[in-house]
Amino acid sequence: MKKTVLLLCTLAAAWACTSKKPVSYEDKTLPPEVRAADLLSKLTLEEKAALVQYNSQPVERLGIKRYNWWSEALHGVARNGSATVFPQPIGMASSFDTEKIEEVFTAVSDEARVKNRLAAESGDVKQYQGLTFWTPNVNIFRDPRWGRGMETYGEDPYLMGQLGMAVVRGLQGPVDSPVRKAHACAKHYAVHSGLESNRHRFDAQVSERDLRETYLPAFKDLVTKADVQEVMTAYNRFRGDPCAASKYLVQDILRGEWGYRGLVVSDCWAIPDFFEKGHHEIVDTDVQAAALAVANGLDVECGSTFVKIPEAVESGLLDEADLDRNLLRVLTERFRLGEMDGESPWDGLDASIVEGAEHRALSLDMARESMVLLRNNGILPFMGDEKIALVGPNADDAKMQWGNYNPVPKTTVTLLQALQERVPDLVSVRGCGIMDAQFMPAPRGRFASVMDMTDEQLEAVAKQYAIGVEDIKNYVRDEQERRNGFLPALDEAAVLKELEGVDVVVFAGGISPRFEGEEMPVQLPGFSGGDRTDIELPDVQRRLIKALHEAGKKVVLVNFSGCAIGLVPETETCDAILQAWYPGQEGGTAIADILFGDVVPSGKLPVTFYKNVDQLPDVEDYNMEGHTYRYFRGEPLYPFGFGLSYTSFAYGEAKVKGKKVVIPVTNTGDREGTEIVQLYVRKPDDAAGPVKTLRAFRRVTVPAGQTVSVTIPLDKETFLWWDEKAQDMVPVRGKYELLYGGSSADAALQTISYKF
């Protein structure tokens, strides 16, 4: 014990020696790490063990308050009362707008500071009320069947890194502030992108190239460029070791190669996976698991295994010096957050900003930028004289718009509400193609099938959705063998009768966060445990859309989902398709603004929309070949980076001038619009490498009929490439192709040769 204390108090002793004054952790003028070292020297082993648990208890004799490290802010301050709900991250990624995303998360951290202050004033800061937020999720959205991919910023490592760094900057605040505004957390480290059903036992095996080229770059960006203060390890194993116990990931790469000095935290109840039956089972007991995680540098556990730390030390399985090393980092960050002293530069923020007008306007603006127009035969924007009907399961579903890991706002504008504001004679047929899981809310996605409803439940559904009870009962009686979890359109002829005289049907379809998400006990056709087994629209929706088309109706599909959907039939039955994702509390207004042309769509896909699952490799194959636009060699339905506008853009011949490329972009239409200029790189002599890979993008607004020049630097990072000798991504000299245009599709790109 004496050796441990002396070792870890070196910093405090050195400060006292040079400053010629005694050191006290209560002295606010001292650096946080010096205060932390002094405080550490005063703690017992049991107190130390308690302080590295996520729900750390107070040490009243030393004035240490209770603190819970677990807070969520995926797209708004979550699980902590009402707050502004911004679009789901996969939707924000469609904006390719780093500045707007940083602005969003600045608003989020402002609301977080207000909520934390109010909780502290009440006398007790509970879980989800702290300042350490376990976001962003920068795992690669490798396969559209992964249920949590909607929490990420897409399938491209460069885009993920750029947008992830914007999240970190917004949450953590000014880097030169003496008090840190909040913590962001890069998760889940590493090589994690599904399936939810096997994450507690899966062993991810990938080549060193795939690891360094695809799975790690965003984490490296957040650590080395954005100074992210927390990294969360993943549930899965990597090359045999659970990620939290992986020396290669945590000690060699994260802390060694990248020089990371922040906190490493576990995913929740991931450490018990070390020993629990049917999970990783790499050790026999909880004491061994705690010792292994602490020794490997895990600073904070979300779970219950670290209560065994004292036993691990006393039995000789763990050196207390390793615990002290970790706890010194933990205490330092508590001082840096101002949490120990109870004061910060943001104490003056007014509580009215939480879900206030300014932040709701920002949510609306972000939602507008997130919309991706996938198809338009000229029907959009609406002229204002059409007879319009709104049909479909997502027409008036506020909870669906909130996504997952979400706040609960005081107000939400659904698509129905937004269209009713604009279209006084709107025809709304709300009982068509509704999924029965949307009738029966319950925790963690447990939803009663319509087949199992009581008479009272059926009557409630009938009243809510204007469906006849007998119609439902007849369906149950006649279609028991179709226990497929969906309530089909009840009578397509009756629906069409209600739509007589209607010119255009806006079909609010897609899926719901009730079906896709984290480890959900959902078993329905196309869905399993929160993941997807196929990528098609629910059959009930597909049939009804086809019937509408065959009846001569113009159909505009507004597709809500957190993942890519296989929309091949809909490209034939729909006149327009708008990908809306889960657009947040202002989503209905944003969609209406696009449909009526008040806003020109500018979003681009951050993921590939495949035609069907036949184009995908095995979902458990983590090797990148065949996955994402970078290694997919077929023809997708809609490529990464694709998105239509209400105007058109033409790219001129780019010129390389020194260490930059200048790209002329002309708006050839009659409306001002925003284009997302994309620069890809290809190395022709590397047949094993990516088909192309994104290296830069710019959002640029171009007035109708005018041309702007977009300048993109060509630096060493532009030419980061896999090097066999280095076994890493480094600037590699040689011949490259620069591909530029409005999407990743070859037909949309122009090419110039470049020698680096």
SS3 content of the chain, % helix, strand, coil (to 5): 35, 20, 45
How far apart (Å, rounded) are the C-alpha atoms in residues 490 and 474? 10
Which helix H or strand E contains 380, and what residues bound it?
Answer: none
Q: Same domain for 562 and 710?
A: no
Is 451 part of any domain?
Answer: no
516 is catalytic: yes
pLDDT of residue 372: 98
Rounded to an integer, the average pLDDT of 667-694 is 98
Q: Same domain for 217 and 263?
A: yes
Exposed (0-12), middle (13-18) or buried (19+): which is 81, by Cβ within 10 Å? middle
Is 204 part of any domain?
Answer: yes
The residues, any chain, with a CB within 8 Å of residue 145's CB and separated by 6 or more, are 194, 195, 531, 532, 533, 534, 535, 563, 613, 616, 619
Of 156, 210, 324, 516, which residue is the catalytic one? Answer: 516
Q: Same domain for 87 and 59?
A: yes
Q: Same domain for 592 and 730?
A: no
Instruction: State yes or no: pLDDT of 20 exceeds 90.
Output: no
Is 737 part of any domain?
Answer: yes
728 is catalytic: no
Instruction: State yes or no: pLDDT of 448 exceeds 50.
Output: no
Give 442's pLDDT tier (boundaries 50, 70, 90): very low
Q: Same domain for 592 and 661?
A: no
Last residue of a domain, one of 296, 318, 352: 352
Q: How many domains does the chain have?
A: 3
Is 533 part of any domain?
Answer: yes
Is 584 part of any domain?
Answer: yes
Of 151, 241, 267, 396, which residue is the catalytic one? Answer: 267
647 close to 704: Cβ distance less than 8 angstroms: yes
**pLDDT tens, residue by residue, 34-43:** 999 999 999 9
- Cis, bond preceding 49 (omega within 30 deg of 0): no
Instruction: State yes or no: pLDDT of 457 exceeds 80.
Output: no
Give 489's pLDDT tier (boundaries 50, 70, 90): very low
DSSP β-bridge partners for residue 693: 681
DSSP 41-75: TT--HHHHHHHTBTEEPPBGGGTBPPEE--BB-SS
Rounded to an integer, the average pLDDT of 713-729 is 98
CATH number at residue 727: 2.60.40.10
Exposed (0-12), middle (13-18) or buried (19+): which is 387, by Cβ within 10 Å? middle
Q: Same domain for 711 and 618?
A: no
Q: Same domain for 654 and 553?
A: no
Q: Same domain for 160 and 55?
A: yes
CATH number at residue 162: 3.20.20.300
pLDDT of residue 453: 64
- Please report, as a single letter, which amino acid is at residue 284: D
Within 10 A of 460 (CB to CB), how many other CB atoms are there? 15
How far apart (Å, rounded) are the C-alpha atoms in residues 253 and 729? 13
Q: Using the structure block, give the residue that is written with the tokens 């119609």.
A: 471
For residue 654, the enclosing domain spans 649-755
Exposed (0-12), middle (13-18) or buried (19+): which is 48, by Cβ within 10 Å? buried
CATH number at residue 576: 3.40.50.1700
Q: Same domain for 609 and 660?
A: no
650 token code pair: 């033409």
Q: Same domain for 147 and 55?
A: yes
Q: Same domain for 658 and 562?
A: no
562 token code pair: 């957190």
pLDDT of residue 296: 98
Question: What are the residue ranges of helices labelled H in 371-450?
Answer: 398-402, 415-422
Is 379 part of any domain?
Answer: yes
Last residue of a domain, one of 598, 631, 664: 631
Nearest 5°: the CA angle 706, 372, 690 is: 90
Q: Same domain for 625 and 729?
A: no
Is 486 part of any domain?
Answer: no
Is 458 part of any domain?
Answer: no
